[in-house]
Amino acid sequence: MAAKYQIKVFGKEGCDKCHTLNQRLDKLLTQEDYSAFDKIYCDIETLDGLVAFAEAECINPSRIPAMLITQWDEAAHEFMPMSTQQPGAKDSICKKAKLYQYMGLQTDYSDIGKGLITPKMIQHILAEATA
């Protein structure tokens, strides 16, 4: 096992926002600072992707694309979702895109969120995971 953390990206075929999130993560993960992270893509329109989505238990299906940060659990021999340090705390960078219970992001389609998960938001969540 190479990575300590795994980013699960939830999206679907033909979704431009899903494609953009994947591209942003792929670009970011080529940097040395993020070598502890791997990414897997979970297409929610496939059985495996839908199962992974259901197991995440924290993402609103109408707020796809989304990403969940997981950490390798040696005892369980699998990646487990990382809990947020302060559930529900205000976040000036991620705002309402930040997941409540676990570390991650889901798309905020409101006028404030504008349906964007920005590189700055992604970096903020990955920094929180490694802090």
How many whole angstroms separate alpha carbon 129 and alpha carbon 28? 15
Residues with Cβ within 8 Å of 18's Cβ and at least 6 positions away in sequence, in order, are 9, 11, 12, 64, 65
In the chain, the domains with their CATH numbers are 5-130 (3.40.30.10)
Q: What is the pLDDT of residues 58-79, one digit of tens each?
A: 899 999 999 999 999 999 999 9
Q: What is the pLDDT of residues 78-112, one digit of tens each?
A: 999 999 988 888 899 999 999 999 999 999 999 98
Identify how many contiguous H helices and E strands the chain contains and give both numbers.
3, 5
> What is the reported pTM?
0.93
Mean pLDDT of 109-116: 92
How many residues appear in the chain? Answer: 131
